[in-house]
Amino acid sequence: MFKLANSHRSIRSFTSQNIDDALLNDLLLTGLRSSSSGNMQTWSVIVTRDEAQKRNLYELHGEQQMVLEAPLVLTFCADVFRMREWIRVNNSKQSFDDLLGFLTGTVDATIAAQTISLTAESIGLGICYMGTTWWAADQIIELLELPQGVFPVTSLVIGHPAENPPLRDRLPIEVMVHQEKYQRLSDAEIRAAHADREEKAWARYNAIESVRTKIADAGITKVTDYYTSDFKYPKALHQRISKMLMATLQAQGLWL
């Protein structure tokens, strides 16, 4: 397990080999056995294999080719709707339609997603998370017909790898783990902690011709400038998506 966990790579290119129903069911069952707050299991997952529906998700996820290539797209959702329906049919006092209910379901869904990811990797499959789930949450809700109380929080593509990428850089454990209390880093410690990432990320981005051109045209000389640039993660985009998420949470009955 240590070796498996320490060898994770995101896979973005897949073969045409399918994943049969039996294997899919086995993978999903591992998610169902994951830790869950109060054992309420306030999460659900939408399985997408239909090519037309994958094309719809491809468009919502920023036209990432892996959505079309992978045989499976799993959309994990915080789901208090099912719990509230159980409460309703038993004529019990209602609850969970609030921010805490949403956050609890988000954690449960993410734990389940990671359990399924590790299981998939343990048998040689490749996976990649898609953070773009947040970026198009309102449209994904409409596409997947999610009722009030259900909210998409992350997505996975799963399939047989058609690539063997190297391990990506990670920050040193000394700056990620804090003993007893949070420890602030000095400027020198921050620079030292990110030095390896500066070098490797800069080389990786400059190896992509389209990105290299944008970097040069914008006069960008640092990785941090690239991260906050107008063509990567601009502040205006973050603010727009944040407002959409808050409005969508309200519309889904999860912001009380």
pLDDT tens by residue, 97-123: 999 999 999 999 999 999 999 999 999
Instruction: Give me the residue label for tokens 């259900």.
Output: 150
Locus of tokens 């800069």: 202
| Predicted local confidence at residue 40, as pLDDT | 97
- Do 7 and 126 belong together in one domain? yes
- Residues 225, 126 share a domain: no
The predicted structure's pLDDT at residue 255: 83
Domain ranges, residue 225: 173-238
Contact 12, 128 (CB under 8 A): yes
What mean pLDDT do residues 8-16 have? 97
Do 186 and 86 reside in the same domain of the chain? no
In a domain? residue 246 = no
List all residues 6 or more positions away from 245 whose beta carbon is below 8 Å from its beta carbon: 134, 137
Torsion of CA 184, 186, 188, 190, to 10 degrees: 30
User: Within this chain, do residues 56 and 84 fall inside the same structural domain, yes or no?
Assistant: yes
φ/ψ (deg, to 5) at 92: -95, 170
Determine the average pLDDT of the residues in 23-33: 98
Residues 145, 177 share a domain:
no
pTM: 0.95
Same domain, 126 and 21: yes
| Domain co-membership, 185 together with 141 | no
Structural domain count of the chain? 2
Mark which of 103, 137, 165 sits at the end of a domain.
165
Residue 120 in domain: yes
Q: What is the pLDDT of residue 94?
A: 97
Percent of the chain at pLDDT > 90 equals: 97
CA 172 – CA 196 distance, rounded (Å) = 9
244: in domain: no
- Residues 60 and 63: their CA atoms lie apart, in Å, by 7
Evaluate whether 17 touches 159 at the Cβ level (below 8 Å). Answer: yes
Domain end among 128, 147, 165:
165
pLDDT, tens digit, 9 for 90 and up, residues 50-67: 999 999 999 999 999 999
Same domain flag for 192 and 141: no
211 belongs to a structural domain: yes
Residues 72 and 157 grouped into a single domain? yes
Query: What is the predicted pLDDT for the residue at 46?
Result: 99
